[in-house]
C-alpha cells in the first residue's frame, strides 16, 4: 500500500517527520516558558531572543574559538542561562510584587533591545552553521537525515529529564513549594530567591539549547526567535500555562498536526495551530492540561 487517503506514503511520512522536528522545537521552547511561568509567574517575552542567542552562541564559539558543535551544545545554554539569571536578579526581581503585566512589558522590551543589538552587529540576513552530522538512515518508506533524528532524540531526552527534575526530585519539590508558600520554605533555611533565580536561568537555558539545535538546520539570524515565539506561546496556552507535561505533549502533537495539515490542506498549515488555540480558549480556557490555580 503506497497511498493513504490518496496521498503517497513517502510524502505523508516526510511531512510527519518535518512536523515532528518542528514539534521538537515547540516542545523545548514551550517547556522553558512553562518552567518560568509555572514557577515564578513571569510571561517571558525574551524567550525568542534567548533562543536566538543560543544559535548565535554556537556560531560565534565555532568561528572565534573553534569550539565544536557538541561542546557548544553544553557551553552555550550555560552562558545564556547565566545572562538570564542576571536579568532575573537585577530586573525582574524588582517587579514580583506588582502586576504580572509589568514583567511582560519588561521582557518584551528586552527582547526588542537584544534583537536590535544583534541585527546591528550581524545584519538581518542569515548566517550558515555547518551540520555536525552527515548521512542518514533509510527506513524503507522514507529517508531520515541523521541530524534531524538527533534533534528529535535530544529534545525528547531533555524534555523528560526536565519533567523528572521538577516533578520527581527534592529540588523540584522545593521549587514548587517556594512558588506557593515562600515564607514556609524560607523557614526551613532554604534560599528561595536563589532557587527562583536558578529556575529562571534554567528556563532560559532550555531556550538556548533549542537555539543550538536549530543552528545547523536554519539560517542563524537575529529574527529567528521572534518568528517562532508567537507559535510557541500558542502551544503553551493550548497545553495549559505552567503545565510541564502539557507543554511537551502539546508541542510534539501540534508539530505533527501542522505537518499533516500541509499534506491534506496546505492553505491552513500556517493557521491550524491558532484555530486550535481559539477553540481551546473557548471550550477549555485553562488549557488541555491546565488546572485552576
6: in domain: no
Q: 272 CB contacts (<8 Å, ≥6 apart)?
A: 257, 258, 261
Report the SS3 class of residue 289: coil
79: in domain: yes
65's grid cell = 574559538
* CA R_g for the chain: 19
Which of the four pLDDT bands, split at 50, 70 and 90, describes residue 291? low
For 78-98, how does the pLDDT look when each residue is reduced to its tens digit (9 = 90+)? 999 999 999 999 999 888 888
Q: What is the pLDDT of residue 235?
A: 92
Q: 63 CB contacts (<8 Å, ≥6 apart)?
A: none
291: in domain: no
Which of the four pLDDT bands, split at 50, 70 and 90, describes residue 158? very high
151's grid cell = 534533534
156: in domain: yes
What sign does the dihedral 229-41-195-84 (CA atoms) show? positive
Q: What is the DSSP string of 207-259?
A: HHHHHHHHTTTS-B-TTTTHHHHHHHHHHHHHH-TT-HHHHHHHHHHHHHHHH
Q: What is the DSSP string of 75-134?
A: HHHHHHHHHHHHHHHHTGGGGTTS-HHHHHHHHHHHHHHHHHHHHHHH-SS-B----S--
> Rounded distance, CA 188 to CA 94, Å?
24
How far apart, in Å, do the first and last CA atoms of the chain sit? Answer: 49
> Rounded distance, CA 282 to CA 293, Å?
19
pTM for the whole structure: 0.91
On the question of pLDDT at 38 being above 70, the answer is: yes
250: in domain: yes
On the question of pLDDT at 14 being above 70, the answer is: yes
192: in domain: yes
Percent of the chain predicted with pLDDT > 70: 93
More confident residue, 66 or 1: 66
Which of the four pLDDT bands, split at 50, 70 and 90, describes residue 7? low
Return the CATH number at 145.
1.10.3470
> Rounded distance, CA 105 to CA 244, Å?
24
229: in domain: yes
103: in domain: yes
Q: What does the mean pLDDT of the chain come to?
A: 88
Q: What is the pLDDT of residue 17?
A: 85
Percent of the chain predicted with pLDDT > 90: 53
Q: 74 CB contacts (<8 Å, ≥6 apart)?
A: none
When divided into structural domains, the chain yields a total of: 1
Domain that holds residue 102: 15-283
Amino acid at each position: 500500500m503506497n497511498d493513504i487517503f490518496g496521498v503517497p506514503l513517502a510524502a505523508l511520512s516526510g511531512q510527519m517527520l518535518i512536523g515532528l522536528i518542528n514539534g521538537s522545537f515547540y516542545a523545548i521552547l514551550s517547556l522553558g516558558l512553562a518552567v518560568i511561568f509555572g514557577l515564578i509567574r513571569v510571561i517571558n517575552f525574551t524567550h525568542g531572543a534567548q533562543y536566538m542567542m543560543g544559535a548565535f552562541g554556537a556560531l560565534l564559539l565555532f568561528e572565534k574559538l573553534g569550539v565544536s558543535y557538541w561542546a557548544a551544545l553544553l557551553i552555550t545554554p550555560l552562558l545564556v542561562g547565566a545572562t538570564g539569571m542576571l536579568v532575573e536578579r537585577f530586573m525582574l526581581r524588582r517587579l514580583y510584587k506588582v502586576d504580572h503585566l509589568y514583567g511582560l512589558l519588561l521582557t518584551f522590551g528586552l527582547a526588542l533591545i537584544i534583537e536590535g543589538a544583534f541585527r546591528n552587529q550581524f545584519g538581518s540576513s542569515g548566517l550558515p552553521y555547518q551540520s555536525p552530522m552527515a548521512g542518514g538512515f533509510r527506513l524503507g518508506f522514507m529517508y531520515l537525515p541523521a541530524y534531524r533524528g538527533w534533534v528529535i532524540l535530544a529534545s525528547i531526552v531533555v524534555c523528560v529529564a526536565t519533567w523528572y527534575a521538577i516533578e520527581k526530585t527534592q529540588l523540584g519539590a522545593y521549587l514548587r513549594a517556594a512558588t506557593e508558600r515562600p515564607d514556609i520554605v524560607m523557614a526551613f533555611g532554604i534560599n528561595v530567591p536563589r532557587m527562583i533565580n536558578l529556575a529562571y536561568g534554567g528556563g532560559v537555558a532550555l531556550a538556548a539549547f533549542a537555539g543550538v539545535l536549530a543552528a545547523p538546520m536554519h539560517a542563524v539570524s537575529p529574527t529567528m526567535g521572534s518568528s517562532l515565539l508567537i507559535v510557541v506561546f500558542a502551544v503553551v496556552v493550548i497545553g495549559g500555562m505552567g503545565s510541564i507535561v502539557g507543554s511537551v505533549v502539546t508541542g510534539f502533537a501540534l508539530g505533527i498536526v501542522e505537518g499533516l495539515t500541509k499534506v491534506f490542506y496546505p492553505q491552513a498549515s500556517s493557521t491550524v495551530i491558532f484555530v486550535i488555540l481559539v477553540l481551546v480558549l473557548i471550550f477549555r480556557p485553562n488549557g488541555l492540561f491546565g488546572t485552576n490555580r
